[in-house]
């Protein structure tokens, strides 16, 4: 199901907040100063239900020019905009600036709402409609419906709701499969709960108790609680307005403009490449090293501009640029940003991000310009990289990659090599391919799982490989998952020993008491060899705390000890010795009976049968009637 966020835009005192109150029954002004002055200073949020059970979030943005940064913090997350124009005043300065901003943010759908319609004459209203339609030429709203309303009497509100419902069907769904990403637009505390942040989920989905990362600082946090429109939910989806209760961080360490995202999915940067377009009516040109303000999500970032293709950008022109940021930030390719001059704070235009974490460029470098234009054009390289970002968790091969972008396998061979040279994708045995973002995020997830496991189980050799795979891979049975673990083991990121995986550098550290218990247990099993006592009898014969004895035994299982059946445990050396005796037996014999095996080990029939049955399961031996033959291993 699509989730809809509606935003307002328009000049101060044109009735945006009153309109929202007429639609929802709620006043979005919450600050005392807002109530007193009758204007919106901060962002306001509420919701209402459209016909058919569609719950829409709604954002009320300030209209005053001095609060434009607050307007930008909210409008970037909307799917559908209501451009509000007062019928008694018509199109004003902030109406035009808000419209320019909406254009630059690539918002596609909207409705024009003429408020205060009851205080003007019908002829005046028609004249205002004509003027508005003329002002909207060559914008995304040029064909938008114009609805006249009176928010006090609610005349026209039902028609507006009908149009909003119609537009809902035309709004594109956000990508719920992408890594979770949310810009934070409000931070506060609630007594008894702690730190709470709000924002609009741009991409992906989010579960309660999920681990997320705060960017650009990259602190790891846990989601304690999720609310959507005031209701507690277990999961939130792209396109929803949410409030998140965060564990492990104080309010003072988070600020508006920070991002919450899937761990490892973003990369903090001090530079970003993009295509900058100045408005036709921009009040000034831009030259090399000019200082500007970048508005991205809910953040405002100061930057210097490096123009890559020329020395000056004139109003109405478009060119490739690099922004040198004055603080760390995070971006993704395709993000839209708004550019305002440093001082005076005039809106100049907007840019689309092409490379979110580039190297430093100089102006007039043709090879850099060519690479950026290729990436911008969405050619096969960009298409392949974007496809791989979405399906890396399936470990696709060349044929699947080719199919995902609708071309032949032969067409992508050189492209894969190029992307590997750029360190954007990794290959696993030259057969399976994953994106760098997935590689980094899955390593973080594996490391986190192993570290937490070692904390809880300090006397265990490591996590079972199969358990780790089931926790971090979408398809743990995929052969590529094993190959990936082998790859990062070779890179000294993890350590694999048999069935166990541990964090690099982890080792079991025994206390003197634990060492003594281990030695006692090992001595018992080595002395009894093929006729060991039952495990419970072993425990009774050991001196030490019962809990400590149990921990040591668990640690030894799968390493020094091997559990063949519930009550049958052998030392690993005894088990390997039994296998060697069988191999020697089959040098001169074709079959092995239980009696012969019992005599080989010098044990009882009970133990001989138990060991043979385990060997059958391991396919070291194969049962044929009452005898065994040598298996495949």
Domain boundaries, the chain: 4-170, 181-261, 269-375, 525-630
- Residue 507 CB partners (closer than 8 Å, separation 6+): none
**Residue of 90, 97, 87, 109 whose CA lies nearest to 61:** 97
Cα-flanking dihedrals φ and ψ of residue 592, to 5°? -135, 125
Residues across the chain: 633
**Residues of the chain whose pLDDT is less than 70?**
1-2, 26-44, 61-77, 378-379, 406-408, 633
CA distance 328 to 299: 11
Contact 212, 260 (CB under 8 A): yes
- CB count within 10 Å of CB 143 equals 8
* Peptide bond before residue 388 is cis, with ω within 30 degrees of 0: no
Task: Give the list of residues 6+ apart from residue 381 with CB closer than 8 angstroms, or none.
Answer: 374, 375, 415, 418, 419
Say yes or no: do domains 181-261 and 269-375 share a fold.
yes
- Cβ contacts of 356-359, under 8 Å, gap ≥ 24: 356/267, 356/269, 356/272, 356/330, 356/331, 356/332, 357/267, 357/269, 357/271, 357/272, 357/331, 358/269, 358/271, 358/272, 358/273, 358/322, 359/271
Contact 624, 591 (CB under 8 A): yes
Which residue, among 355, 350, 347, has the nearest Cα to 331 in the 3D structure? 355
Q: Which of 632, 614, 630 is nearest to 581 (CA)?
A: 630
Reported as a single tens digit per residue, the pLDDT across 137-155 is 989 999 999 999 888 888 9
What is the C-alpha separation between 569 and 540, in angstroms, rounded? Answer: 15
Tokens describing residue 337 = 């940003």
Answer yes or no: are the C-beta atoms of 145 and 133 closer than 8 Å: no
What predicted TM-score, i.e. pTM, was given to this entire model? 0.60
Question: Has domain 181-261 been given CATH number 2.40.30.10?
Answer: yes
pLDDT score, position 287? 96
For 81-133, what is the HEC assignment? EEEEEECCCCCCHHHHHHHHHHHHCCCCEEEEEEECHHHCCHHHHHHHHHHHH
End-to-end CA distance of the chain: 52
What pLDDT is stored for residue 32 in this prediction?
40
Q: Phi, psi at residue 77, to the nearest 5°?
A: -100, 10
pLDDT computed for residue 21 by the predictor: 85
- The CATH architecture assigned to 525-630 reads Orthogonal Bundle (1.10)
Cβ neighbours for 210, distance < 8 A, ≥ 6 positions apart: 180, 222, 223
Helix orientation angle between 594-601 and 572-588, rounded to the nearest 10 degrees: 120
DSSP assignment letter at 395: -
**Who's near 596: CB < 8 A, 6+ residues apart?**
585, 589
Listed residue (402, 398, 392, 482) closest to 437, CA to CA: 392
Look at phi and psi of residue 240 and say left if phi exceeds 0, alpha if psi is from -120 to 50, else beta: beta
Right CATH number for 4-170 from 3.40.190.170, 3.90.1150.10, 3.40.50.300, 1.10.3210.10? Answer: 3.40.50.300
CA–CA separation, 303 vs 300, rounded Å? 10
DSSP, collapsed to helix, strand or coil, labels residue 7 as: strand
CATH topology of domain 269-375: Elongation Factor Tu (Ef-tu); domain 3 (2.40.30)
Residue 246: name the closest of 304, 186, 205, 300 by CA. Answer: 186
Whether the Cβ atoms of residue 416 and residue 425 lie closer than 8 Å to each other: yes
Is the peptide bond preceding residue 512 cis, with omega within 30 degrees of 0?
no
β-pairing verdict for 146-148 and 109-115: parallel
CA neighbor of 582 nearest in space, from 540, 530, 509, 514? 530
Burial class (CB in 10 A: 0-12, 13-18, 19+), 584: exposed
């Amino acid at each position: 199901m699509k989730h809809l966020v509606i935003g307002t835009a328009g000049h101060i005192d044109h009735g945006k907040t009153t309109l929202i109150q007429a639609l929802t029954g709620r006043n979005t002004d919450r600050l005392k100063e807002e109530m007193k002055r009758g204007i919106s200073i901060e962002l306001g949020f509420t919701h209402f239900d459209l016909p058919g059970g569609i719950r829409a979030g709604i954002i009320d943005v300030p209209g005053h020019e001095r609060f434009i940064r607050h307007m930008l913090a909210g409008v970037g997350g909307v799917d559908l905009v209501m451009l509000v124009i007062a019928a008694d005043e018509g199109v004003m300065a902030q109406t035009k600036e808000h419209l320019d901003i909406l254009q630059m943010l690539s918002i596609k759908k909207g409705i024009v709402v003429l408020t205060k319609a009851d205080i003007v004459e019908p002829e005046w209203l028609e004249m205002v409609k004509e003027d508005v339609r003329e002002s909207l030429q060559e914008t995304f709203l040029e064909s938008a419906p114009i609805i006249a309303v009176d928010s006090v009497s609610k005349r026209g509100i039902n028609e507006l709701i009908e149009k909003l419902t119609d537009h809902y069907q035309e709004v594109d769904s956000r990508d719920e499969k992408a890594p979770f990403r949310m810009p934070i637009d409000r931070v506060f505390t609630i007594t008894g709960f702690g730190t709470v942040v709000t924002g609009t989920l741009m991409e992906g989905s989010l579960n309660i108790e999920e681990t997320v990362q705060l960017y650009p600082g990259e602190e790891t946090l846990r989601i304690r609680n999720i609310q959507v429109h005031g209701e507690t939910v277990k999961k939130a989806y792209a396109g929803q307005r949410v409030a998140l209760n965060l564990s492990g961080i104080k309010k003072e360490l988070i600020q508006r403009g920070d991002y919450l995202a899937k761990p490892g999915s973003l990369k903090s940067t001090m530079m970003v490449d993009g295509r900058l377009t100045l408005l036709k009516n921009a009040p000034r040109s831009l030259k090399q090293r000019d200082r500007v303000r970048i508005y991205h999500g809910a953040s405002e970032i100061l930057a210097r501009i490096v123009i890559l293709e020329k020395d000056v950008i004139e109003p109405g022109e478009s060119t490739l640029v690099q922004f040198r940021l004055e603080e760390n930030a995070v971006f993704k390719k395709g993000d839209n940003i708004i550019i305002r001059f440093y001082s005076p704070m005039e809106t100049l235009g907007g840019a689309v991000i092409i490379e979110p974490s580039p190297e430093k460029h100089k102006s007039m470098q043709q090879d850099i310009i060519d690479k950026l234009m290729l990436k911008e054009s969405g050619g096969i390289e960009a298409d392949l990289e974007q496809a791989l970002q979405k399906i890396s968790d399936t470990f696709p091969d060349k044929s699947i990659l080719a199919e995902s972008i609708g071309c032949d396998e032969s067409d992508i061979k050189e492209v894969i090599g190029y992307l590997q040279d750029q360190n954007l994708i990794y290959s696993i045995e030259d057969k399976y391919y994953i994106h760098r973002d997935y590689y980094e995020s899955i390593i973080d997830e594996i490391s986190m799982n192993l570290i937490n496991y070692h904390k809880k189980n300090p006397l265990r050799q490591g996590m079972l490989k199969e358990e780790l795979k089931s926790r971090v891979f979408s398809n743990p049975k995929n052969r590529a998952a094993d190959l990936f673990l082998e790859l990062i083991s070779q890179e000294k990121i993890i350590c694999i020993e048999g069935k166990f995986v541990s964090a690099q550098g982890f080792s079991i550290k025994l206390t003197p008491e634990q060492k003594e218990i281990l030695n006692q247990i090992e001595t018992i099993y080595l002395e009894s060899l093929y006729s060991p006592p039952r495990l419970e009898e072993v425990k009774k014969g050991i001196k030490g705390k019962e809990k400590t004895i149990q921990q040591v035994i668990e640690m030894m299982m799968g390493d020094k000890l091997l559990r063949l059946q519930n009550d049958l445990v052998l030392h690993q050396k005894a088990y390997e010795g039994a296998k060697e005796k069988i191999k020697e037996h089959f040098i001169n014999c074709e079959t092995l009976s239980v009696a012969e095996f019992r005599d080989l080990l010098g044990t009882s029939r009970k133990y001989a049968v138990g060991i043979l049955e385990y060997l059958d399961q391991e396919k070291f031996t194969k049962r044929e009637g009452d005898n065994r033959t040598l298996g495949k291993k």
